[in-house]
Amino acid sequence: MDQRGSLALQLTVSGKVELPCQRCLGSMPYVVDVGRTLYLARNEAEMERLDALPDSDAIQAGETLNLVDLVEDEVLLSLPLAVMHAEGECSVTGAQ
C-alpha cells in the first residue's frame, strides 16, 4: 500500500521458455523477464483515478484476485509475437 492508500502489486517473473522459430519451426530459447507494478483498483471510481495517473497500470480487483491467471497473462503479453533465429543460427538459410 502506498502513501495515498492505493494497493499495488509488484510482479516479477523470470525464467526461460522455448518458442518456435517462425522460419525453421525449431525451438529457440527465450528469456522471460517481467517486472511490473500493477495498481489494484477496488471499484470503478478508483480505476478511473488510477488510469489517469502517468505510467500507471491499473486493474480492477474484487475481494479476491486470481494470481495464477494474472501471472500467466503478464508472461504471455511479454512474449514476442514472432521470433526467429538470428542469421546463421537458423537451420533454414537464405530464406527471404
**Residues at the site binding Zn ion, with contacts judged by CB under 5 A:** 21, 23-24, 85, 90
As given in the structure block, the three cell numbers for residue 56 are: 500507471
Q: Does residue 29 contact residue 10 with C-beta atoms inside 8 Å? A: no
Those residues whose C-beta lies under 8 Å from the C-beta of residue 52, and which sit 6 or more positions away, are none
CA–CA separation, 96 vs 84, rounded Å?
A: 12
CB of 96 to Zn ion, least distance (A): 14
